[in-house]
Structure 1
C-alpha cells in the first residue's frame, strides 16, 4: 500500500510543553478554582506539587516560541487530573481547571493557529484514574456498578489506596492509581474513539498516544486512525513506542513514533564517555556505550532501514522528554555535546522536537527532576539558544534539511559526515566529536559531489586546493557545521 503521512509535519519543528511547568499568567477574570497554594516557581519539582503553569501563560510565550522558529507544539496531558503531570485522567472532556479549563485552552488553540502553530495533544487511553467517574462508581458501588466491564476487576474487595491489600483489578505497571480500560468492551472502545474525534473537531492537529502497545485489542488503533483521519486527513498520529516500531508504521496505524531509537545513539556519539550512566541506565533508549563515527553511522543506517521514507520524514525526533533525564544532564552538563546533538537533531530527516527549556540550558535528572519550571531569562544560556534559533532557521530555509535525501558520507574516527540533497541543493553536515581538529578534502572523500563549498553554519573553515576548487575543510574539535555546494566557477 502507498503510505501517506501529514505533509505539514515534514516541515514542522515541535516544542514539547509540560503545562504545569512552562509559564503561568494571571487569569483575565476571577477563577476561584485557580486561587490555590502553589509551589514557588523556581524551587525543585516534586512528585505531587503544582507550579501552576496555565494556558494564559503559554499564550504569553507564543511570541518567544515564534522567535525560536517553532511551528508545532506537543502538550503532555491537559485534562482534569489529580497530579501535576496529568496522566491520571479524571475527565477527558474537561481541561484541568488549574490550566484555565476549556475556555483558556480554546483561547490558546486559536492564538496558536493564528500564528500558524499546530497543536498536538497527549492521548492517555490505555488507563484512566481512580477518580475517573466510571471507575469511581465501581469503588463506590462494588459489584452493583453498571460499569464493571469497563475495567478488569479480578475479585473483591477492591483496594484502590491501601497498598497492604491486593488491588484486585488490573492497573498499568501495577500502579493502582491507573486502572486499565477493558478495550475489548465495545462501549469502552467507542468511548475512546469519540474522545479522539471530539478534540479533532475542536481543532487540534493530532494525537500523541501514550503507551499504545499496552492496548492488545485487535484493530483498535487501526480504527482510531481511520476515524481521526476521516475528520482531518492531515491529523498527526504519533505513538509513544521506544523501540523499533515497524509493526506500528505500516501506513495502517500511526504516522510516526517518538524516535528514541534516534535519541540514544545521537547522544552516545555527541558525548561519548561523558554520558552519566546514573541518568541514562533506567530508561530504555541507550545513550551508551560511547560510539565513534562508524558506530554511529551503523546505528543510523540501521534506523533508516526500518521504515518507509515517507515515515522517516515525520518521525518525532527528540533528545529529551518528560520521561528521561534532560539531554544536557545526561551528557555530563557538557554544552559542546549538547550543541553537537542538537546539530544532528536539526539536520536529520523528520520533525525535531525540543523539550521546553532545553534550548536555554535547563538541566534535570530523572523524573521529577527533568520537570523543572522554565527559568527566568537571566538564567538562560543565550549561546545555546542562538544555536537552536540558527539551526531551526536554516531548517526552515533549506528544503534539503527537511525533505532532502539523507546519505552517510564518511565516518573516520570521531568525524562523521552526511549529505542532505533536495533537487539541485546539496548540503554536507560534518560533526567532529573528538578533541582534535580534523581536516578533510571533500573532493577526495566524495569525488563527483562537488569541488567548491561554502560554510552555511558553524566554525568550519574552507580552503582552496586550486584556483578552481574550495574543498579542504577543517572542523575544529568538539564542533560541527553545515556546508553548501557552490556552482562551478565560471
Structure 2
C-alpha cells in the first residue's frame, strides 16, 4: 500500500456539506492500489455504556486518472456533527487512516478522527438555480448588429467591410441586439453575456472611463432598460461585464491622481508608491499603461465598485455580473461584493474570469461560477489539436472532475471560444466535424454552456482581433447546416434535462488506439449514453453496459429500438456521435 498517495483533508472538495443535510466525503489513493475503503463515523458526543457509538459504510471509486483512484461516499451526520476515519484494505494488508496518520487497527479514539464540527446549511455552496438550465450567448456589442446609425462614432466603418483591427469600429449597438432577439429565441438562447458596455475609448470597452454610463456608441440607458425588459419577456437573462481589476487611463480619479499626484484625494485608489507617483509609475493590467490597476483594498474604491454592482441591478434588473481578471483582485473585496449585490437581488449570478484552478473562488463566499477554461483547454487538445488520445483525455477529465465539489460543476460557465481566443472553427483547423463533437460534449456535460456569437453560423477568425469579426446576417453567407445543428443540440439539452445537470456524469470507455469515447448521464429513472467516434475511420463500438430488454431512443435520429442482447454495438461514421436514451 503506497501511503504517500493517500490523501484527505476536511473541507474543499474532500469533505463538504450538501443542501439535503448530507456530507460528501472523498479519499484519494494510488490507482488500483486498494481493494476496498470503509468509512467509520459517528457523533463525537454519542456514547452507550461508556463506549463511543460509530457506524461504517463502504466507499466506492467514483473515478480515476493515470495516478489516483477517488473514493466517494455521501452520509448524513448523526446530530449534524461528525468524526470519521478510513479503513484501507490492500490484499491482506489493513490500515486505519485518521487525522493523526496511520495505524494497524480500527480504534475508538475519535479525537484522532477527522472532524466535521457541525452541519450548517449556510456553509453549503449556493448559486442561482436558474443558471443550470441556461444556454448563454456571448455578444461583443460593436460586432453583433448595428441597429441605428445615429449613435455611430465618426470613425465607424461600413459593416463587415474589412478585417477587424484593434481599433476599428463597426457600429454594433443595443438597438441592434433588440432587433435580433427573435433570432436568439429561435436559436434557443436563454441568457446573454455582454462584454463591457460602459463608457470607454476602445472598441472592446475594457478600459472603463465611467462605470455608471453606457458608452454613447452603444446607445443610452433608456434603450438598455428596454432591452432588459424585452429579454425578460422572452425568457432571456442578462449578464454584464464588470472590469474592477483596472480602469481606463481617462477614468477621472486616475487623471486627478496623475495631475495632482500626492495632493490628489485619489492617489490611494491606485497602486502607486511615493516615488512612483512622482515618476508616473503605477501597476497596470498586464503591461498596458492605458489600464491602471485599481486598489480594491482602499475603502473608497471598494464602496465605489460595490455601488456600481448594485446600481445596474437596482435600476435595470440585470441578472448577472461577469467579473474581469477576477483572480488579480483581493478575495476580501469579492466577499463583500457578493454580499452587497446578493442583498439587492438574491439570485444574481456572479462569474469570475479565472483561467486556472479556481477552487479558492468557488467555496460559496465569492463567486457562483468561473469561466471554465481548464475544460476548454482539454476539449481543444483532444477534439481539435489531436495532442492527446481518448485515454489521455479520460485521465485528464477524471482528474479535473475531482478538483471541485459536484455542485460547483453544475454552475461552471462552459465555453469553447470567446473574444480572447481564436474562433472554434479555426482552432479545429476548419474541420466542422471536429467542431460538432466539441459542441456535443459541451452540451451534454455538467455546467452552463455558452456560445460565442457567430460560432453557430461558422464565423471564422484567428486570435484577437480576428476573433472579433462582424456577425454575418446574410443567410447565403451563413453556414445554415451548422445553424440547424446547433438549434437541434440546444433543443435536446432543454427538452432532456438529463443532458444538462439532472444526471450524474460517468466516463464508461475510452480507447487510445481507436479514439472513441463513451460516457453516461444517469438519474433514477433514465440513462443517457453518449458515444463518440473521434477518428477518421468508420467504427463499430461496443457499449460497456448491460442494456438487455431495455428500450432505447436515439435522440438525434428520433428512432426507438429494443436491445435483445446484453451487449450492443453502435456503428458510427468518422467524427460521428450518438445520444442513446435508455428507459430504466
With over 3 angstroms needed to count, the CA separation of the structure-2 counterparts of 1:142 and 1:465, relative to structure 1, is closer
1:430 and 2:549 equivalent? Answer: no
State the Cα deviation string for residues 79-128 of structure 1 (Å, max 9, x = none).
00000000000000001100002222112111111111000011100111
Is 1:208 equivalent to 2:322 in the alignment? Answer: yes
Distance, in Å, in 2 between the alignment partners of 1:267 and 1:462 is: 33
Q: 1:131 to 1:421 in 2, by over 3 A?
A: same
Q: Structure 2: give runs of 5+ residues left out of the alignment.
A: 1-122
**Counterpart-to-counterpart distance in 1, 2:266 and 2:537:** 66
SS class of match (1:119): strand
- Whether 2:136 is the aligned partner of 1:22: answer no
Give yes or no for contact 2:552–2:563 (8 Å, CA) kept in 1: no
Given that 1:451 and 1:469 are in contact with CA atoms closer than 8 Å, whether structure 2 keeps it comes out as: no
- Name the TM-score, length of structure 1 as normaliser: 0.89
Q: In 2, distance between residues paired with 1:356 and 1:465? A: 41
Matches within 5 A, 1:74-113: 74-113=193-232
Which residues of 2 match residues 313-352 of structure 1 at below 5 A? Answer: 313-352=410-449
Residues 1:157 and 1:230: Cα distance change in structure 2 (over 3 Å): closer
Q: Is 1:474 aligned to 2:571, yes or no? A: yes
For residues 363 and 110 of structure 1, the distance between their equivalents in structure 2, rounded to whole angstroms, comes to 32
Corresponding residue to 2:483 among 374, 385, 410: 385
- Taking the aligned partners of 2:175 and 2:431, their CA distance within structure 1 comes to 34
Whole-Å separation in 2 of the counterparts to 1:450 and 1:100: 60
Q: Please give the secondary structure, in 1, of the residue aligned with 2:492.
A: helix
Indicate whether 1:171 and 2:268 are aligned: no
2:135 pairs with 5, 10, 13, which one?
13
How do residues 230-379 of structure 1 correspond to structure 2 at under 5 angstroms?
230-273=343-386, 290-376=387-473, 377-379=475-477
| Contact in 1 for aligned 2:551/2:560 (Cα 8 Å) | no
Aligned residues: 456
> Paired residue for 1:47, among 133, 149, 166?
166
Instruction: Say yes or no: does 1:117 pair with 2:236.
Output: yes
Query: CA deviation digits over 1:357-405, x for unaligned, max 9?
Result: 0110011111111100001322111111111110100000011012211
Does the CA contact (< 8 Å) of 1:255 and 1:314 recur in 2?
A: yes
User: What secondary structure is seen at the aligned counterpart in 2 of 1:418?
Assistant: strand
Q: Which has the larger radius of gyration?
A: 2
Q: Deviations over 1:294-353 (max 9, x none)?
A: 111112212211112211111100000001111110111111110110001110111100
More helix as a share of residues: 1
Structure 1 partner of 2:297 = 184
Pick the structure with more strand per residue.
Answer: 2
CA deviation after TM superposition for structure 1 residue 473, in Å: 1.4
Mark the runs of 5 or more structure 1 residues left unpaired by the alignment. Answer: 160-165, 274-289
Distance 2:341 2:134 in 1: 20
Q: Say which of 382, 393, 405 aligns to 2:504.
A: 405
Q: Contact 2:262/2:277 (CA < 8 Å) preserved in 1?
A: no
**TM-score when normalising by structure 2:** 0.75
Separation in 2, partners of 1:231, 1:471? 54
What do you get for the CA RMSD once the two structures are aligned?
2.1
Alpha-carbon contact 1:415-1:433 (below 8 Å) kept: yes
**Contact 1:38/1:52 (<8 A) preserved:** yes
With over 3 angstroms needed to count, the CA separation of the structure-2 counterparts of 1:450 and 1:421, relative to structure 1, is: farther
Q: 1: distance between equivalents of 2:541 and 2:576?
A: 15
Please identify, of 94-103 and 142-151, the stretch whose mean Cα deviation from structure 2 is larger: 142-151
State the secondary structure of the residue aligned to 1:138: helix
Residues 1:64 and 2:183 aligned together: yes
Deviates more, 1:82-91 or 1:251-260: 251-260
Per chain length, whose mean CA-contact separation is higher, i.e. which structure has more relative contact order (CA < 8 Å, sep 6+)? Answer: 1
Q: Secondary structure at the match of 1:172?
A: coil
- The equivalent of 1:127 in structure 2 is 246
In structure 2, distance between residues paired with 1:428 and 1:437: 19
2:341: which partner in 1? 228
After TM superposition, the structure 1 stretch with the greater mean CA deviation from structure 2, 472-481 or 8-17, is 472-481
Answer whether contact 1:452 1:471 (CA < 8 A) is retained.
Answer: no
8 A contact 1:77–1:123 mirrored in 2: yes
Q: CA deviation at 1:465?
A: 6.7
1:192 to partner: Cα distance: 0.7
Corresponding residue number in structure 2 for 1:145: 264
Other-structure match for 2:541: 440
1:451 CA displacement: 4.3
1:171-198 deviation per Cα after TM superposition (whole angstroms, max 9, x unaligned) = 1112110111112211111111111111
Instruction: Classify 1:416/1:139 alpha carbon distance in 2 versus 1 (closer, same or farther; 3 Å).
Output: same
Contact 2:141 2:194 survives alignment (8 Å) = yes
* In structure 2, C-alpha distance between the alignment counterparts of 1:440 and 1:387, rounded to whole Å: 23
Q: 1:462 to 1:439 in 2, by over 3 A?
A: farther
The structural deviation recorded for 1:471 is 3.0
| 1:44 partner SS | coil
Secondary structure, in 3 states, of the residue corresponding to 1:112? Answer: helix
CA distance in 2 between counterparts of 1:88 and 1:64 reads 30
| Contact 1:126–1:215 (8 Å) recurs in 2 | yes
